[in-house]
Amino acid sequence: MGLTAQSSGVNLLRESFNIDGDKNNPVVALAGNPNTGKSTVFNGLTGLKQHTGNWPGKTVTQAKGYYTYLSQEYTVVDLPGTYSLLASSIEEQIARDFICFAQPEVTVVIADATNLERNLNLLLQVTELSERVVLCLNLMDEAERKNIKIDLNGLATDLQVPIVPTIARDEKGLSDLKKVIDKIVNQEVQLDPIKIKYSSKIEEKVEKIVPELNKQFPNLRKNINIRWLALRLLEGDRTIFETLEECYDVNLKNKKVVERRQ
């Protein structure tokens, strides 16, 4: 089974996020801070092939679009612009749940090259949820104008993710981005991005919970990152199981509907 969303489970989960699972397209999620030119990248990638609606059950706008690269159609989902994924607002929760449960084939983190520090914060949180992450350094022209020099090789070594510099306003770098996405979807590159190392106090506790989670829920590993789940439990998130159940419950219900139809 490749990464092209063959497993119907993921497709059904995606349906519950309003993403057409029946199309079987690889899904590319765009995450990023507000004001990083995320929507410019989105427009640049998809052109006029866009749909806007709402995230299911939320008053937050959902934009999705399509593009074709090397005769493969991709579905692009523009996540709400957030500074973090710690789920302290609806937007953050949507972005988090989408990356966590809909499991996009690639998550592109769009960062403002003039203010990398703040943007890396989000990237570090995304890599906790997914391995398939690309860093898109947008607004490179402004960084140049402000005399900010970024060591792209050094950054790529530190983060262990592919980095694509872009000037989305001028459509520069977008074809590189599509190429990198294509490589990840076709598993031509193996990614093992940086994981934040927390203080030893926290890490010790994570190590105690992870085996317990694996023991109690041996199948969960296939669906979500256990380390991430342990971290959420450590910070006192007691609703996380409910969220999980909700997601997989929806999944089960959908399955029944499909079965009945057939």
Partner 1 sequence: MKLTELPLKKIGEVVDIMADPNKKRRLLDLGLTEGTEVIPKRRSPSGDPTAFLIRGTIIALRSEETDLIEVEKK
Partner 2 sequence: MSRQQQSTIFSKIDNLDINHEQIRDEMVKDIYDTAEEIAERNIASSEVEKESWGEKFDTLLTSKCLGFPMMLLMLGIVFWVTIVGANYPSAMLAKFLFWIEGHLSNLFVALQAPEWLHGMLIKGVYRTLAWVISVMLPPMAIFFPIFTLLEDLGLLPRVAFNLDNFFKKAGGQW
Q: Which residues lie near partner 2 (CB under 8 A)?
A: 84, 86, 116-118, 120-121, 123-125, 146-151, 154-155, 158-159, 196-199, 201-202, 205, 208-209, 212-213, 216-217, 231, 233-236, 238, 241, 244-245, 248
The answer to whether the CB of 62 falls within 8 A of the CB of 90 is no
The answer to whether the CB of 158 falls within 8 A of the CB of 186 is no
Tokens 């350094």, located at residue: 137
Q: Which does 88 bind (CB under 5 to 8 A by kind): partner 1, partner 2, none?
A: partner 1
Least Å distance between CB 92 and partner 1?
Answer: 8
Distance CA 237, CA 231 (A): 9
Q: Which does 25 bind (CB under 5 to 8 A by kind): partner 2, partner 1, none?
A: none
Q: Which does 124 bind (CB under 5 to 8 A by kind): partner 2, partner 1, none?
A: partner 2
Which pairs from 217-225 meet CB under 8 Å and 24+ separation? 220/244, 223/9, 223/101, 223/248, 224/100, 224/101, 225/100, 225/128, 225/129, 225/130
Site for partner 1 in 103-162 (CB under 8 A): 114-115, 117-118, 121
Return the H-helix or E-strand segment holding 116: helix 116-129
Q: Does 4 bind partner 1 (CB under 8 A)?
A: no
Nearest to partner 2 of 116, 191 (CB atom): 116
Distance CA 207, CA 167 (A): 42
What is the DSSP-derived secondary structure letter of residue 261? H
> Residue 222, SS3?
helix
> Residue 245, SS3?
helix
Nearest to partner 2 of 192, 235 (CB atom): 235
Distance CA 34, CA 30 (A): 12
Q: Which does 89 bind (CB under 5 to 8 A by kind): partner 2, partner 1, none?
A: partner 1
Q: Does 93 bind partner 1 (CB under 8 A)?
A: no
Q: Does 202 bind partner 1 (CB under 8 A)?
A: no
Nearest to partner 1 of 143, 185 (CB atom): 143
Binding interface with partner 1 (CB under 8 A): 33, 83-84, 86, 88-89, 92, 114-115, 117-118, 121
